[in-house]
Amino acid sequence: MSNTPQHATTYSGDIIGGVPVITHLNLDDLESGRIYRFMFQGSNMNIGQHWYVPIMVAKGSQPGKRLLLNTGIHGDELNGSRVIQQLFATLDATQLSGSIIGIIQAAPNSLFHISRTWYSSTDSGEFSNMNGIFPGDKNGNSAQIHAYLLWNHLWQNNCDYAIDLHSQSTDTEYPLFVFADYRVAAIKTMAELIPADQIKNDEGEKGTVETTFVEHGIPAITIEIGAARSYQSKYINRTLEGIKNILNHLQIWNCQQGRTAASYGSFIGNQMYSVKAITGGYAEVKVSLGDDVIQNQEIALQRNAFGDVIHTYLAPMSGKVLSLGTGATREAGGLLVRILY
């Protein structure tokens, strides 16, 4: 965790929808035993107006650990927003020891466009995957500046643990799935408190939210919650169950222990392979999420416009189906089946 000195929570003086706007958050100067709502001022647009991030803070009546729940880095991945909304609807800050921060719509530009990427209107326009540019750049484009503001003025100095909530992208689907760097014991513990379908022991990727926290000594995991653009209650409820397990483990909230990876029977792997289309065509996937597959099993095929089979895809190894392409058409490079093993 950073030891950078913090300045006070900074209010811009603006009010949006009855909610105060802040440009910097410092949990230390918030009154204990309360739940707060803020709009965090992010980078600005080509017309000089700002993007705003809705956040909720539950500051317990007693000191303790601080957990960050972040969602909305990719704008078509929505299940995580409902997880945070439902959690905060049940919280009583006077019963907490420590704090919980819930970030909704971390990348509002991407959510506005219902897109995985942030659109910057520079010149002819450019697109940035926000989950690859942290901790940002205060002298960069609007996406890089927004990432810099999130990291330096909202996240880094306000949490001891972090969970980044995602789902699969449009036209693809995950089950309830966790990325976790098992080289850190605290991260392994967090991951296995989630009753996930599958968990990947994963060293992370430079620039992602999760890995940036880990590089700064803050244990973090990524939870992938089902499919894009919809609310899936079966995954939302199970994610909530796991997050409550973590809150209980961190002694932030004394709540009932739910199912864990062990009791749920989560499949844990450390490698995954994506079978992608090698040509354009109409795709038919032959397996379902969670299926066990064996090497050389037929898992997908593609047809041309007349219905002729133009390519058949076989499993390159044995494992468990982690993700599927759900769109009926696929260009070359589009995901068909991802296998965890």
Query: pLDDT (tens digit, 9 = 90+) per residue, 73-85?
Result: 999 999 999 999 9
- Do 153 and 300 lie in one domain? The reply is no
Look at residue 4 and tell me whether its pLDDT is greater than 60.
no
At which of 268, 290, 317 does a domain end?
268
Residue 1 lies in a domain: no
150: CATH: 3.40.630.10
* Model confidence pTM above 0.85: yes
At which of 268, 303, 321 does a domain end?
268
319: CATH: 2.40.50.100
Residue 2 lies in a domain: no
Phi–psi pair at 15, nearest 5 degrees: -125, 130
Specify the amino acid at residue 195.
P
Give the residue among 185, 160, 167 at the shortest CA–CA distance from 101: 160
Query: pLDDT (tens digit, 9 = 90+) per residue, 222-248?
Result: 999 999 999 999 999 999 999 999 999
Q: Give the residue numbers spanning the domain of 306.
A: 271-340
**Hey, is 237 helix, strand or coil?**
helix
Within its chain, how far is the Cα of 24 from the centroid?
Answer: 22
Residue 297 lies in a domain: yes
Query: pLDDT (tens digit, 9 = 90+) per residue, 246-284?
Result: 999 999 999 989 999 999 999 999 999 999 999 999 999
Alpha helix stretches (DSSP H) within the chain: 79-89, 108-112, 142-150, 185-191, 209-215, 233-249, 261-264
Cα separation of the two ends of the chain: 33
**Number of domains composing the chain:** 2
Residue 5 lies in a domain: no
- Do 324 and 235 lie in one domain? The reply is no
At which of 209, 235, 268 does a domain end?
268
Please report which confidence band the pLDDT of residue 51 belongs to, taking 50, 70 and 90 as the band edges: very high
Here the tokens at position 70 are: 């972040």
